[in-house]
Amino acid sequence: STHKLIKLLKTISDEGKIVIFSIHQPDDLTTRHFDKILLLSHGKSAFMGTFTDCEPYLNNIGYMREPFESFSNLAMRFLNDFDTTRMNDDKQILADISTTKFQRKEKHNHQELGNVSSDFSHLECSNDPITGQDSIVNKSNEFYIDLGINFGHIRTLLRRKFKIYFTSIQNVVLLVINFVILLIAIKFFGSLFVNDNRLPQNFKEERNYFLKLTFLPFIFSAIPIVAGSAFYPEIDQVKREIGVSTYSVLSYYLATLIQELVIYLCSLIMFLVGTYIYYPMNA
């Protein structure tokens, strides 16, 4: 995996050797091993220096990490703004940020790592050892769809999904409102039909089963209606992580399925409790 490869490169760099590689949207486990970092945007250097200085630098120019946001997502927001300002005016580095701070930091970074290119100036690109012809340089990212299941990834994704869900006040309020409406509906129909003493006993029992079977399809039919928002709170991060195969596609789907089942299981339990309270017969 990517994480194991980065750890291997880290051990090589610890031996005093310089390791330079490019990576797109690494996860936070991978970025822990970085010593120095260079953020590039269309061939332009946006930041170059030690990794521990990168996030404080972004914070200093107005880019703060959101709750549960990865460093890669924070860097992408910065690079997106950097792209826009470069396209509008190549001479203006950042329109909404202090230009003097950026230029001063960029000059300092070049002084720190300015000798890196000279260290590798003696290297030349060689021909393909098999064909003897010039190798074709692939300028795009390698991409494949990982369909394996990693239970460690599922556990990590579930932890993140539940944190995002239950730290949103809107989600908690909607869940409580759903419970209240469900109990009110059960109470209303139970008082109106089932607990009517004027009805015969056998008819009330049949009506009881009928109402419970009527409610259940509505509960399960609501699941696909709201399923489109299952990835919404983290849609940008999910697309980037799948794009660089941080987690497998099946791990994402299984984690989302488990989260949705747990949330809607609460509604189902509330429905069964309500029918037991308000439909005492054969509940």
DSSP string, 172-239: HHHHHHHHHHHHHHHHHHIIIIIT-TTS-HHHHHHHHHHHHHHHHHHHHHHHHHHGGGSSGGGHHHHH
Q: Are 233 and 170 spatial neighbours (Cβ–Cβ below 8 Å)?
A: no
19 and 92 housed in the same domain: yes
- Segment 202-213 mean pLDDT: 64
* Per-residue burial over 178-193, b = 16 or more CB atoms within 10 Å of its CB, e = otherwise: bbeebbeebeebbeeb
101 and 190 housed in the same domain: no
157 and 273 housed in the same domain: yes
* Nearest CA-CA partner of 226 in 200, 258, 190, 263: 263
User: Among the three residues 69, 97, 119, which one is the final residue of a domain in this structure?
Assistant: 119
Rounded Cα distance, 280 and 276, in Å: 6
The residue that leads in pLDDT, 29 or 230, is 29
Given a cut of 60, whether residue 136 has pLDDT beyond it is no
User: Among the three residues 96, 119, 142, which one is the final residue of a domain in this structure?
Assistant: 119
User: Among the three residues 98, 119, 140, which one is the final residue of a domain in this structure?
Assistant: 119
Q: How far is CA 276 from CA 157, 181, 193, in A?
A: 35, 16, 15
Given a cut of 50, whether residue 120 has pLDDT beyond it is no
Q: Tell me which residue range forms the domain holding 91.
A: 2-119
260 and 158 housed in the same domain: yes
Instruction: Tell me whether residue 45 is in a domain.
Output: yes
The residue that leads in pLDDT, 201 or 275, is 275
The residue that leads in pLDDT, 205 or 258, is 258
Q: Could you give the number of structural domains in the chain?
A: 2
Instruction: Tell me whether residue 13 is in a domain.
Output: yes
Given a cut of 70, whether residue 69 has pLDDT beyond it is yes
Instruction: Tell me whether residue 54 is in a domain.
Output: yes
189 and 266 housed in the same domain: yes
pLDDT at position 173: 85
Tell me the pLDDT band of 113, cut-offs 50, 70 and 90.
low
156 and 67 housed in the same domain: no
85 and 169 housed in the same domain: no
Where is mean pLDDT largest: 19-28, 65-74, 215-224?
65-74
Instruction: Tell me whether residue 133 is in a domain.
Output: no
112 and 175 housed in the same domain: no
| Residue 122 token pair | 């003696």
186 and 84 housed in the same domain: no
Given a cut of 50, whether residue 40 has pLDDT beyond it is yes
Percent of the chain whose predicted confidence (pLDDT) is above 70: 54
205 and 272 housed in the same domain: yes
114 and 155 housed in the same domain: no
Instruction: Tell me whether residue 175 is in a domain.
Output: yes
pLDDT at position 125: 46
208 and 257 housed in the same domain: yes
pLDDT at position 4: 75
CA atoms within 13 A on the CB side of 91: 0
Rounded Cα distance, 215 and 210, in Å: 9
Rounded to 10°, the helix 169-189/249-278 angle is: 40
Instruction: Give the amino acid at 37.
Output: I
Rounded Cα distance, 268 and 177, in Å: 14
Given a cut of 80, whether residue 64 has pLDDT beyond it is yes
Instruction: Tell me whether residue 17 is in a domain.
Output: yes
Tell me the pLDDT band of 137, cut-offs 50, 70 and 90.
very low
List the single range of 12-21, 28-37, 107-116, 242-251 with lowest mean pLDDT: 107-116
Given a cut of 80, whether residue 176 has pLDDT beyond it is yes
Tell me the pLDDT band of 91, cut-offs 50, 70 and 90.
very low
The residue that leads in pLDDT, 262 or 22, is 262
User: What average pLDDT does the chain have?
Assistant: 69
Instruction: Tell me whether residue 145 is in a domain.
Output: no
Instruction: Tell me whether residue 73 is in a domain.
Output: yes
List the single range of 22-36, 39-53, 59-73, 248-262 with lowest mean pLDDT: 22-36
